[in-house]
Amino acid sequence: MSHVAIISASIGAGHDGAAAELARRLGAAGYKTDRYDLLELLPRSLALLLTTGYYRQLAAAPWSYQATVRVFDRAAPTGFAAWAVHGADRRILRLVRPDTVAVVSTYPLASQVLGRLRRTGFLRVPVISYLTDPSVHRTWIAAGVDRCLATYDVTAIEARRLGAAGVRRVAPAVSPDFRPAGTDAEVAAARRAFRLPPTGKLALVVAGSLGLGRPERTACEVAGTGLATPVVVCGRYRTLYQRLTAVPGLVPLSWVDDMPTLLRAVDLVVHNGGGLTSLEALATGLPVLTYRPLPGHGQANASVLDRAGIIPWIRYPEQLSTVLRRTLDRSASVPADVAPDPAGAIIDCALSR
């Protein structure tokens, strides 16, 4: 049985979520898989800088995160970022076993490390990058990577423009558990499971696993339209959950393990990131709106998805009520996606070595 190594990063939940689903699909196809966290492979000081820096910038100084993203979206700073993570090289090479046939990255800096090792001949098996965002930041593009998998046509086009090799459009790496509700009884059962209002429209407000951005303000503005009751997923942000329990008209939830059921309980999703949760919502057949996106990758994703006609971006508060009403009145459906399975694309690359 052949082996595939998958390297992600525990910054947010989207990179790990994609890695988990790719591992499940590869396992179902008969491959052994191991998942690794790049942060555990880097020197501790750099790993701490990446994790705490990401959170503190977005929480305390969002403008600084926006500036950081822009600075590193250029060739020279990207080269510096690639050099900065060279401390993971030896540990990554030790993860490659005699039966390893491919290494997959779901995090841009992991792609930089793997691309360099592949380009310099230290890594002799194919490297595949699975892009977890609809927008393509330059740090995703690394010379030496054999295959680049994109979940949207617009993403694939941008990756090619930036010089990515072997770009392939694939279906999203989303669990089959994310599906539309089959009956009204299933919706009612899902609402009971989370103690949600049994009647009326529900808008799920999501802000990633860390509850970053301004989910409280978004929820209050949604409630103010009178069109839907906001259900707010606070993730690991316990303080946010405690604050929202005191706000009338809102339904706060802490960490949610069963997102497929929760998504079947609601009528619409309002998000600020554009990553994994938006893909899961679309797979569930829900309409999705972007509102108050996070600086940096959130705004970049919002722009790409809006321009492509996939997820509307509400740019101004005065538009919220109109767009929300129009969206709730329109029936949603699961988009037909005949793109290849990403696990199949990984296997094809491994077999073509």
Q: How many helices (H) and strands (E) does the chain have?
A: 16, 12
Instruction: Tell me the residue type at 353.
Output: R
Per-residue model confidence (pLDDT) at position 114: 97
**Beta carbons within 8 Å of 36's beta carbon, 6+ residues apart:** 5, 6, 7, 8, 92, 95
CA 89/CA 234 separation, integer angstroms: 36
Looking at the predicted structure, is the pLDDT value of residue 167 above 80? Answer: yes
**Beta carbons within 8 Å of 15's beta carbon, 6+ residues apart:** 8, 9, 106, 107, 132
For residues 158-191, b (16+ Cβ closer than 10 Å) or e, as one string?
bbbebebbbbbbbbbbbbeebeebeeeeebeebb
CA 312/CA 303 separation, integer angstroms: 9
Looking at the predicted structure, is the pLDDT value of residue 14 above 80? Answer: yes
Per-residue model confidence (pLDDT) at position 150: 97
Average pLDDT, the chain: 90
Mean local confidence (pLDDT), 278-295: 93
CB 129, CB 150: distance < 8 Å: no
Q: Residue 259's closest CA among 175, 183, 184?
A: 175
Report for 69-78, 79-88, 308-317: range of highest mean pLDDT: 308-317
Q: What is the CA radius of gyration of the chain?
A: 20
Give the pLDDT band (50/70/90) at residue 205.
very high
Q: What is the pTM of this model?
A: 0.91
Structure tokens at 278: 């938006």
Give the pLDDT band (50/70/90) at residue 210.
low
Structure tokens at 292: 């108050």
Of 125-139, 183-197, 209-223, the range with the lowest mean pLDDT is 209-223
Greater confidence (149 vs 299) lies with: 149
CA 80/CA 139 separation, integer angstroms: 10
CA 301/CA 5 separation, integer angstroms: 28
Question: DSSP secondary structure string, 45-68?
Answer: HHHHHHHHHHHHHHHH-HHHHHHH
What are the chain's domains? Answer: 3-172+338-351 (3.40.50), 184-329 (3.40.50.2000)
Give the pLDDT band (50/70/90) at residue 133.
very high
Of 11-25, 44-58, 113-127, 267-281, the range with the lowest mean pLDDT is 44-58
Give the pLDDT band (50/70/90) at residue 209.
low
Looking at the predicted structure, is the pLDDT value of residue 196 above 70? Answer: yes
Per-residue model confidence (pLDDT) at position 54: 67
Give the pLDDT band (50/70/90) at residue 191.
very high
Looking at the predicted structure, is the pLDDT value of residue 129 above 90? Answer: yes
Per-residue model confidence (pLDDT) at position 211: 64
Give the pLDDT band (50/70/90) at residue 59.
low
Per-residue model confidence (pLDDT) at position 241: 87
pLDDT in tens, 252-279: 998 888 999 999 999 999 998 878 889 9
Structure tokens at 267: 């009528």
CA 29/CA 284 separation, integer angstroms: 24
Looking at the predicted structure, is the pLDDT value of residue 116 above 70? Answer: yes
Q: Residue 286's closest CA among 195, 199, 187?
A: 187
CB 312, CB 147: distance < 8 Å: no
Q: Residue 5's closest CA among 39, 38, 40, 35?
A: 35
Per-residue model confidence (pLDDT) at position 84: 81
Please state, for a pLDDT cut of 90, what percent of the chain lies above it: 71
Classify residue 233 by its DSSP letter.
Answer: E
Greater confidence (225 vs 79) lies with: 225
pLDDT in tens, 311-339: 999 999 999 999 999 999 876 666 666 78
Can you list the alpha helix ranges (DSSP code H) found in 29-152? Answer: 38-41, 44-60, 62-71, 75-84, 89-95, 108-119
Mean local confidence (pLDDT), 225-248: 89
Greater confidence (86 vs 236) lies with: 86
Task: State CA 260 to chain mean position distance.
Answer: 15
Mean local confidence (pLDDT), 129-147: 95
State phi, psi for 123 to the nearest 5 degrees.
-110, 120
